Structure 1
Amino acid sequence: MSRFTSTPGFSRRRFLALASGVSLAAAPPLAALSAAPAWAEPRFGGDPFALGVASGDPAPDGVVLWTRLAPEPLAADGRGGMPGYRVPVLWQIAEDPRFRRIRRAGVEPAVPELGHSVHAEVRGLEPDREYWYRFRAGRHVSPAGRTRTAPAAGASVASMAFAFTSCQNYPDGYFTALRHLAGEDVDVVVHLGDYVYEGDAQGTLGRGHLPAHELSSLADYRVRYGQYKSDPDLQAAHAAHPWIAVLDDHEVDNNWADGLDGDDVGGARFEARRAAAFQAYYENLPLRRSSLPTGPHIQLYRRLPYGTLAQFHVVDTRQFRDNQACGDGRQFGCDERLDPERTILGAEQEAWLLDGLTRSHTTWDVMANQIMTMQGDSAEGIEQAFGMDTWDGYAAARQRLFDGVEERGIGNFVVVTGDAHRSVAADLKHDFDDPASATVGVEFLGTSVSSGGNGADQDEWGRVWLQENPHMKFHNVQRGYGVCEVTRDHWRTDYRVVPYVSAPGAPVRTRARVHVTAGTPGIQEVEQPGVPQP
Structure 2
Amino acid sequence: MTSAAHTHPSQHTPELRAVARHIGRRRFLTHTAAAVAVAFAVNLPTAGVASAAELDASKITEDPFTLGVASGDPLPGSVLLWTRLAPAPYQPDGGLPAERVTVYWELAHDEHFGRIVRRGTATAHPEFDHTVHVEVGPLAPDRVFYYRFRTGGWISETGRTRTTPAPHTQASALTFAAVSCQSYTDGYFTAYGHLAEDDVDVVFHLGDYLYEYAVNSAGGYRNYTDRVIPALFNHETLTLEDYRLRYALYKSDPDLRAAHAAHPFVVTWDDHETENNYADDIPENDVPPEEFLLRRAAAYRAYWENQPLRRPQQPAGADMQLYRRLGWGRLAQFDILDTRQYRSDQAYGDGLDLPGPEIDDPARTMTGETQERWLLDGWRGSRALWNVVPQQVNFAQRKLDIAPVARLSMDAWDGYRASRRRVLDGAKAAGVENLMVLTGDVHVAYAYDIKDDFDDPSSATLGTEIVATSISSGRDGADRPTTWDTYTGANPHMKFYNGRRGYVTVELGREAARADFKAVSGVSTPGAAITTAASFVTEVGDQCLKPA
Match of 1:335 among 338, 357, 363: 357
Q: Contact 1:27/1:106 (CA < 8 Å) preserved in 2?
A: no
* d(CA) in 2 for partners of 1:84, 1:48: 15
Q: In 1, distance between residues paired with 2:344 and 2:313?
A: 22
8 Å CA contact 1:377, 1:385 repeated in 2: yes
Q: What is the letter of the counterpart of residue 142 of structure 1?
A: S
Match status 1:46 vs 2:67: no
For normalisation by structure 1, the TM-score amounts to 0.92
Q: Is the 8 A contact 1:171 1:206 kept in 2?
A: no
1:250 aligns with 2:266: no
Amino acid of the structure 2 residue aligned with 1:526: P
Q: Aligned match of 2:149 in 135, 139, 143?
A: 135
Letter in 1 for 2:460: A
The equivalent position to 1:419 in structure 2, one of 435, 441, 444, is 441
The answer to whether 1:29 aligns with 2:51 is no
User: Over residues 206-258 of structure 1, what are the superposed CA-to-partner deviations in whole Å (9 max), with x where a residue is unaligned?
Assistant: 34575111110111111111110000000000000000001100000000110
Does the CA contact (< 8 Å) of 2:64 and 2:87 recur in 1? Answer: yes
Query: Residue 272 and residue 101 in structure 1: after superposition, are their counterparts in 2 closer, same or farther (change >3 A)?
Result: same
Sort the Cα spacing of 1:321 and 1:61 in 2 relative to 1 into closer, same or farther, 3 A.
same
Q: 2:125 aligns with which of 97, 107, 111?
A: 111
**CA–CA distance in 1 between the matches of 2:178 and 2:293?**
30
Alignment partner, residue 67 of structure 1: 83
C-alpha distance in 1 between matches for 2:250 and 2:67: 9
Match of 1:272, SS? helix
**More displaced 10-residue stretch of structure 1: 494-503 or 328-337:** 328-337
CA distance in 2, matches of 1:340, 1:143: 51
Deviation readout 1:117-173 (Å, 9 max, x if unpaired): 000001111111110000011221111101111111111101110000000000000
Deviation at 1:460, TM superposition (A): 2.2
Q: CA deviation at 1:27?
A: 6.5
Partners of 2:177 and 2:204 within 8 A in 1: yes
**Partner of residue 223 from structure 2, selected from 178, 196, 203:** 203
Q: CA deviation at 1:33?
A: 3.6
Within the alignment, does 1:436 sit opposite 2:450 as a pair?
no
CA contact (8 A) 2:3 2:135 kept: no
1:413–1:441 CA contact under 8 A, matched in 2: yes
Q: Does 1:271 align with 2:249?
A: no
Task: Assess, with a 3 A threshold, how the Cα gap between structure 1 residues 389 and 294 changes in structure 2: closer, same or farther.
Answer: same
Aligned to 2:135: 121
Q: Taking structure 1 as reference, are residues 53 and 305 closer, same or farther at Cα in structure 2, changes over 3 Å only?
A: same
Question: Residues 419-447 of structure 1: CA distance to partner in whole angstroms, max 9, x if unpaired?
Answer: 00001100111111111112111100110
Per the TM alignment, residue 182 of structure 1 is displaced from its structure 2 partner at its CA by: 0.5
Contact 1:152 1:306 survives alignment (8 Å): yes
1:526 aligns with 2:547: yes
Cα distance, 1:266 vs. partner? 4.4
Query: Secondary structure of 1:226's match?
Result: helix
- Using the TM superposition, give the Cα deviation of residue 46 of structure 1 relative to its aligned residue in structure 2, in angstroms: 1.5
Read off the aligned partner of 1:521 and give its amino acid letter. Answer: Q
Instruction: Give distance in 1, aligned partners of 2:4 and 2:354.
Output: 59
Match of 1:96 in 2: 110
Q: CA deviation at 1:25?
A: 4.1
Counterpart of 2:198 (choices 184, 190, 202) is 184
CA contact (8 A) 1:164 1:482 kept: yes
Equivalent position of 1:12 in the other structure: none
Please identify, of 231-240 and 135-144, the stretch whose mean Cα deviation from structure 2 is larger. Answer: 135-144
Deviating more after overlay: 39-48 vs 270-279: 39-48
Map of 2:12 onto structure 1: none
SS in 1 for 2:500: strand
**CA–CA distance in structure 2, aligned partners of residues 408 and 155 of structure 1:** 22
C-alpha deviations, 1:261-299, integer Å up to 9, x for none?
A: 112544111111111111111111100011111111111
Whichever residue aligns with residue 203 of structure 1, its letter is N
Cα deviation 1:310-341 (Å, max 9, x = unaligned)? 11100000000001000000001332111111
In the alignment of these two chains, the number of paired residues is 502
For structure 1, the 5+ residue unaligned runs are 1-22, 528-534
> Using the alignment, how far apart are the partners of 1:305 and 1:273 within structure 2?
33
Contact 1:71 1:80 in 2 (8 A): yes
Give the corresponding residue for 1:470: 492
Q: What percentage of residue pairs aligned between the two structures are identical? A: 48
Gaps of at least 5 residues in structure 2 are: 10-47, 215-220
**Is the partner of 2:393 in helix, strand or coil?**
coil
Deviations 1:31-68 (A, max 9, x none): 84443122244522421000000000000111110000
Once residues 35 and 342 of structure 1 are traced to their aligned partners in structure 2, the CA distance between those partners, rounded to angstroms, is: 46
* RMSD over aligned Cα atoms: 1.3
| Paired residue secondary structure (2:542) | coil
Residue in 2 that maps onto 1:80: 94
Match of 1:297 among 312, 316, 319: 319
The residue aligned with 1:233 is: 255
Aligned residue in 1 for 2:377: 355
Q: Which residue of 1 aligns with 2:503?
A: 481
Deviations 1:441-498 (A, max 9, x none): 1100110000000000011222211100111111100000000011111100000000
* 1:372 and 2:386 matched: no
The answer to whether the 8 A contact 2:181-2:473 is kept is: yes
